[in-house]
């Protein structure tokens, strides 16, 4: 018991000191009044005591808190434009070139096709007995078409584009014909020449106010006949081509309307267009037949799809295009 009394007596001054500290801290809490306008700045991070309370505490003065950010919590910063969002759209559907800027777009296309055809021109007397021409052909065609597209922004909402393709074609054709006697020919054709040069104008019809608003673009494209057309190459007496075409041989004009709907990180795109082919007089004999005026069929097409941007440097797009091509009208001799 004597030892316990000695211990309590020894701790009495320390207990008295702690009691005084508790009374001082209670007075500080009672005197603490935070202004209403400061609550939003101190919420979640504590706050410094008023000056008179700080002076009454013992020990070093508390450090001031770092300044709070000025942005509103929960609202992303507004984007200046949505050019980055629609970067995943195909080139012909993308946003326009800014005013005064020149864009060079190299394009490389490789196409390989195979065609096996059996044609009978004549009539059948009875099953198994035929009178006329039988022709069988096997064709393997390859083409390489590097294209340089040059775009220039006339204004922020109007651009002009020029495309110049160069065609490398290589065809291997085997033709078997049965007339008075059987004829088998193997043809190997090559051609390197410029294709049909195109010029296009695109105009942005509206100015979206937000990053998720749709963008509408009107376009007008003109295709020339600078390439070799199918009636500009040679033919033999049987109407078989002895050269290869690098163009359609006809002028074409194509107005169109497309839209872009950004929905970060996806952009939805689509459009409609009408291609008008301008007919012309050929006035040439091909395979023993005189070809007069030829009017290639016009075509109407529509497309829809989406582009997905994984990051600012890599994206892919997926879409569907449907085209309806009208019939071609050709004058051969006295008939159409």
Phi, psi (rounded to 5 degrees) for 328? -90, 135
Which residues lie closer than 8 Å to 25 by C-beta, 6 or more apart?
A: none
The answer to whether 329 touches 296, Cβ cutoff 8 Å, is no
What is the distance between the alpha carbons of residues 189 and 7, in angstroms, rounded to a whole number?
A: 115
Dihedral, CA of residue 46, residue 50, residue 54 and residue 55, to nearest 10: 180
Q: What does the block give as tokens for 134?
A: 């039988």
Residue by residue, pLDDT tens for the chain (336 residues) are: 667 777 777 777 888 888 888 888 888 777 665 444 444 444 444 444 444 433 444 444 444 455 555 544 555 544 444 554 555 566 555 578 889 999 999 999 999 999 998 888 777 766 767 677 788 889 999 999 999 999 999 998 999 999 999 999 999 988 887 766 777 888 899 999 999 999 999 999 988 887 788 999 999 999 999 999 999 998 887 777 888 999 999 999 999 999 999 887 889 999 999 999 999 999 998 878 899 999 999 999 999 999 988 887 888 899 999 999 999 999 998 899
Residue length of the chain: 336
CB atoms inside a 10 Å sphere around CB 246: 25
Query: What tokens appear for 30 in the block?
Result: 């009672």
Q: Name residues whose C-beta falls within 8 Å of residue 67's C-beta, 6 or more positions apart in sequence.
A: none
Residue 336 CA to residue 329 CA, distance in Å, equals: 7
Sheet architecture: strand order including 280-286: 280-286, 289-295, 329-332
**Residue 251: partners with Cβ closer than 8 Å, 6 or more residues away:** 222, 223, 224, 225, 277, 278
What is the C-alpha to C-alpha distance for residues 247 and 249, in angstroms, rounded to an integer?
A: 6
What confidence score (pLDDT) does residue 113 get? 95
DSSP character for 49?
Answer: P
Which pLDDT score, from 0 to 100, does residue 130 have?
Answer: 65
Pairing status of strand 299-311 against strand 252-263: unpaired
Residue 24: predicted pLDDT: 84
């Amino acid at each position: 018991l004597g030892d316990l009394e000695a211990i309590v007596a020894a701790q009495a001054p320390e207990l008295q000191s702690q009691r005084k500290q508790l009374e001082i801290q209670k007075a500080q809490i009672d005197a603490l009044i935070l202004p209403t306008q400061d609550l939003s700045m101190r919420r979640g991070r504590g706050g410094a005591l008023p000056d008179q309370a700080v002076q009454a505490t013992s020990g070093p003065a508390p450090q001031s808190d770092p300044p709070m950010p000025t942005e509103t919590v929960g609202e992303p910063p507004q984007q200046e434009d949505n050019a980055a969002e629609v970067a995943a759209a195909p080139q012909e559907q993308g946003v326009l070139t800014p005013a005064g800027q020149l864009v060079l777009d190299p394009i490389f296309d490789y196409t390989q096709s195979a065609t096996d055809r059996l044609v009978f021109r004549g009539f059948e007397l009875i099953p198994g007995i035929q009178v006329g021409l039988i022709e069988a052909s096997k064709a393997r065609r390859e083409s390489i078409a590097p294209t340089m597209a040059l775009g220039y922004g006339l204004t922020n909402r109007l651009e002009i584009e020029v495309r110049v393709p160069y065609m490398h074609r290589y065809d291997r054709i085997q033709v078997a014909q049965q007339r008075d006697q059987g004829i088998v020919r193997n043809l190997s054709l090559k051609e390197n020449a410029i294709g049909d040069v195109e010029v296009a104008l695109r105009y942005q019809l509206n100015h979206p106010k937000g990053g998720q608003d749709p963008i509408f673009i009107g376009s007008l494209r003109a295709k020339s006949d600078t390439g070799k057309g199918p009636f500009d190459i040679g033919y033999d007496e049987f109407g078989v081509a002895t050269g290869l075409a690098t163009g359609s041989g006809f002028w074409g004009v194509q107005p169109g309307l497309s839209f872009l709907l950004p929905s970060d990180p996806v952009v939805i795109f689509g459009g409609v267009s009408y291609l008008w082919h301008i007919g012309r007089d050929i006035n040439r004999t091909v395979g023993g037949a005189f070809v007069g005026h030829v009017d290639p069929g016009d075509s109407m097409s529509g497309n829809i799809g989406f582009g997905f941007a994984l990051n600012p440097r890599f994206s892919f797009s997926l879409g569907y295009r449907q085209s309806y091509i009208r019939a071609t009208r050709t004058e051969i001799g006295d008939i159409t």
